[in-house]
Amino acid sequence: MPKIIPNYVEMKAGDLGTSKSFYEQAFGFAFTDYGPEYAAVEGGPVQIGLAAGEEPAMPMPTFETDDLETALAQVKSAGGKIVQDIFAFPGGRRFECHDPSGNRLAIYQPG
């Protein structure tokens, strides 16, 4: 069974600049920009990403794995609904799914 641990929370930001400013001022976070539509707070035990966009307006927990294909098979077998198949992004590869209650999750393998 692959190792799968929570280590990332991704949130949508209708106005990325305003959202970054809020987290910088309220919590002292320092962001790394990954293009005009994504910024991340890195280096802690749980990292935070802000993705430009309106929907969904709730956090997306992200789990790290050491075997993405096996994790995908496990999620499918457990009844998860795959909403975005495996794709590459800066930092690795991931897929996104809904749990049985409709919560959106991402599972990724560092690249």
Q: pLDDT per residue over 16-64, tens digit each?
A: 999 899 889 877 889 999 999 999 999 888 899 999 987 766 888 898 9
- What token pair was written down for 41? 């707070």
* Predicted pLDDT at 1: 84
Residue 108: count of CB within 10 angstroms of its CB: 22
pLDDT tens track for 79-111: 899 999 999 998 999 999 998 778 898 999 999
pLDDT tier for residue 68 given thresholds of 50, 70 and 90: very high
Q: Is the pTM of this model over 0.85?
A: no
Bridging pattern class, strands 60-65 and 32-33: unpaired
* Predicted pLDDT at 27: 76
d(CA 71, CA 93): 12
Q: Would you list the domain boundaries of the chain?
A: 4-110
* 4-110 under CATH 3.40.50.620, yes or no: no
* Predicted pLDDT at 70: 94
Higher pLDDT, residue 69 or 79: 69
Helix (H, G, I), strand (E, B) or coil at 49: strand
